[in-house]
Homo-oligomer: A and B are copies of this chain.
Amino acid sequence: MAIGSDKKFLLVGAGAIGSIYGWRLKQGGSSVSVVCRSNYEVVKKAGFQIDSTFYGAGSFIPDAVYSSCKQAADQSHEEFDYVLVCTKNLPNISNPANTIKDVVVSEKVTIVLIQNGIDIEKYYKQLFPNNRVITSIAHIFAKQVETGVITNVGQASLIFNVFKGTNDSEFTQQDVEICDSFRECLLAGNVLATISDNIQRERWVKIVWNISISPVSVLTSASNTREMLDCPETRALLIASMHEAIKVGEAVLNTTLTTDIPSDQLPLQIIDKVDSLPKPFYPSMMIDMQNSRPMEHQVIVKNVIDYANKFNINVPILQTMYSLMILMEKKYLS
């Protein structure tokens, strides 16, 4: 059996993204249990049916399926080595760390955050100051086409490291061992797993496109990337908002966001990449809006604005789009 087989994973929030990582870890030989909410009944009965252009078609039958972390804590016999958090991150509604408090039973549990946004680790560090938090960037295309049925395009990738605040330098021997062990479990499932020396830089580069594309899509009656790029006004707006986010990220990290190109070329590089995608896509924030669900505007936009204020950086574009989204959401949630 594969190398990672002695590790016990609990996947919290087994939607499209989470289930792919769970599936790959399980395929790699690890024990993987899941906490499901909306898809609990279906997954409990039959697991996940996954169709992937890279991994082929298959079933993911978790070792156990729970309806809550409380139930997972009550019913599992030993504690989990890794708790993978793949839920939506909505700290403006409730503390996201609370969700997992029943399963973080000792300091030995490593919390792995597979979530978007900036400054998301603080919620977990505050509640679990003595637990190791691995923060990660997921590059993956996956979609739950119906309950428990997932489609995936391409290989799953995960870039990660232990969270050390904005200064990612002081890793302990145990940090390294735990990251290596997690990496081996992922590699065994053929996930492109990378330990990054500067995971916060990866996070900021990802936010640069997320903070621009998501609000513009939401605020223009649900546009896809093609529509946004074909309209000269919103193309320019995407670029201008990316520049604002880069300025903030560089102030926070006290270094450039890019190493291969000057960071003022990053927006055009991102635009070119999105431009050349075979199919346009809709950001997940827009999907949430369309389904009248809360949007992740706190971790994707507001936490960046808060940093901007702290560093006295003007971000009028981000602030404008954030304010508009707040009222829009308030209306559809009420």
Contact = CB atoms under 8 A, between A and B. Distances in A.
Interface residues of A, number: 28
Contacts of A331: 220-221, 223, 227
Contact of A326 (B234, B323, B324): B234
Contacts of A326: 231, 233-234
A317 interface: yes
A273 interface: no
Contact of A324 (B234, B319, B322, B323): B234
Copies in the complex: 2
The interface residues of chain A, by DSSP majority, are classed as helix
A311 interface: no
A193 interface: no
Contacts of A219: 219, 324, 328
Contacts of A240: 316, 319
Contacts of A236: 323
A77 interface: no
A228 B320 contact: no
Given A223-B331, A328-B220, A320 B323 contact: no
Interface in A239-264: 240-241
A223 B317 contact: no
A227 B327 CA distance: 8
A68 B241 CA distance: 46
B324 A220 contact: yes
B233 A323 contact: yes
A281 interface: no
B316 A234 contact: no
A330 interface: yes
16 contacts: A216-B324, A220-B327, A220-B328, A221-B328, A223-B331, A227-B331, A231-B326, A231-B327, A231-B330, A233-B322, A233-B323, A233-B327, A237-B319, A240-B316, A320-B320, A324-B324
Give 7 closest A-B pairs by Cβ, nearest first. A233-B323, A316-B316, A237-B323, A220-B327, A233-B326, A231-B327, A320-B320
